[in-house]
A and B are shown apart, each in its own frame.
Chain A
């Protein structure tokens, strides 16, 4: 069978709604696109541990400390799980991590913003995990089996994170005037990055055509973004907070919330490495890798000795 025929059959399979599994034939570009997407997602989980890890030692109650620890731990678990999903496509974790550390691979640019107040723990859970859920619920319907199943599993935990984050924000918003101010300030800083986190608008997005045809994504960035906006605006209202967008209005006809213009220059500035924390985040990962070198070497050396001892004993 020639490649054209294979690609045709592949497309038919996808169109009929079947999932593609790891061992099956797939076009090289399908594999590449998925590898990029899944590893990027895995990196985001790992780098995403840093802004929240920043508040573990300073959480204002023991309950919040425990919940935050558990959340950041979940994100590490998501990272692990996603690296494994990417490995099914024939790339190993070491290579992916090297790509992250060298700056070759991207991660979600939202994590390049600093967490400068406790309310940011609320805003991240509510908005960032919230945006992630909307996106990942869509990705769960995608065509690649291992990724789609990973998304189903991960989304369940993201829902927890989202609820806990909103609970933090809600409690602050209903707390003392100073606390309410913290909540509003966090919303002001995290709203637009969360909106942007769902990717360039459809008009500018370069990957969309092929990824949609292969059902790597089943909906466009703007569709997903609209769903996130529609579910989040009423939540802000319920907490008594104001979305930082003077042009925000409800369209009675379409039954959607319409937002003002997105400042894409800011988005690209951060993506290109010039956000407030890009260097700090990458350095934290590089440091962990470097300082962990002797540990990994020791573990390997010890395993080697153990094997040698077993051989000798046998």
Chain B
């Protein structure tokens, strides 16, 4: 695998994470528990969709086969998607959405922060620009973690259940492949081990402040997205997202 191939694959990985999370958050639009939260969730959705557009466009540019952001989003099959399993998990209730969001936001924040020092000009610029957005997302979801975890008995129970559901999907955020090796050697991306070292204490502190407990998974964590093996949810997400452009492949929108 050469540098270009690795970089293109890495951009797809980042772009798919942003896209699928944005897609999930978009489902909330109009249905949140109060207007302020509706606006905030839509904001996060919008930022992520925007990021995915930049990332997938750049992936197409590097690949140099004329594929656009929309070709990547709408005309790839399920197993070609490289988003982490975490972001495709169901919205569930607000507790689940917030927990999924928080666990991912902290990861995305530290990853983007490290990427501001990338030797790849696009990635460094992209990370710089997106870091502001992600800083806000992390604050928003972190505040809700604490508020709901340490709110009422009911909200506490819901948050603990949410954490039990989402936690097993955090392991593979930090899984590295040949793509990472090639790009780390070139100084283009950080080691995900370093990101995990920043992510873990921060997340643990907030979970603690939220009076929640990290579930004991007996050492087992979900994995698969690096090989395109997703949970059952992604197929439905794509069926919904891709239906219209696929039904009229010659149309422009």
Contacts and interface: CB of A to CB of B under 8 A. Distances in A.
A57 B240 contact: yes
Interface string A167-185: 0000100011011000000
Contact of B158 (A62, A79, A289, A294): A294
B251 A178 contact: yes
A65 to B, nearest CB: 6
Contacts of A179: 248, 251
Interface in A48-66: 49-50, 53, 56-66
Contacts of B70: 61-62
Q: Which of A56, A291, A297 has the most CB of B within 10 A?
A: A56
Contacts of B39: 73, 76-77, 80
B177 interface: no
Contacts of A72: 29-30, 42
A302 interface: yes
Interface in A104-149: 118
A305 B252 CA distance: 54
A307 B249 CA distance: 58
A215 B56 CA distance: 53
Interface in A252-278: none
A60 B250 contact: no
Interface in A23-66: 46, 49-50, 53, 56-66
Interface string B214-253: 0000000000000000000000000011011100101111
Interface residues of B, number: 50
Q: Chain B at the A interface: mostly helix, strand, loop or mixed?
A: helix
B95 to A, nearest CB: 8
Contacts of A298: 147-148, 151-152, 154-155
Contacts of B65: none
Nearest to A290: B33
A176 B251 contact: yes
A62 B147 contact: no
A66 B146 contact: no
A94 B53 CA distance: 38
A243 interface: no
Nearest to A53: B30
B39 to A, nearest CB: 5
Contacts of A83: 35
A71 to B, nearest CB: 10
A184 B37 CA distance: 36
Contacts of A50: 30
Contact of B253 (A46, A49, A171): A171
A80 B248 CA distance: 38
Contacts of B250: 176
A274 B170 CA distance: 48
A116 B158 CA distance: 35
Interface stretch (B2-10, B44-52, B105-113, B133-141): B44-52
A72 B49 CA distance: 15
B171 interface: no
B46 A302 contact: no
A59 B27 CA distance: 12
B94 interface: yes
A295 B30 contact: no
B96 to A, nearest CB: 12
A171 to B, nearest CB: 7
A171 B248 CA distance: 14
Nearest to A49: B30
A314 interface: no
B251 A66 contact: no
B151 A73 contact: no
Interface string B2-37: 000000000000000001001100110111111111
Given A118-B253, A296-B34, A299-B151, 6 more contacts: A49-B29, A62-B52, A73-B38, A291-B94, A294-B155, A295-B34
21 contacts: A57-B240, A60-B245, A61-B74, A61-B253, A62-B19, A62-B73, A65-B49, A66-B46, A66-B50, A66-B53, A69-B45, A69-B49, A70-B46, A73-B43, A76-B35, A80-B39, A176-B248, A176-B250, A176-B251, A295-B37, A297-B154
Interface of A: 46, 49-50, 53, 56-66, 69-70, 72-73, 76-77, 79-80, 83, 118, 171, 175-176, 178-179, 284, 287-289, 291-299, 301-302, 305
> Which 5 pairs between the two chains have the least Cβ-Cβ distance?
A292-B33, A298-B151, A298-B155, A53-B30, A49-B30
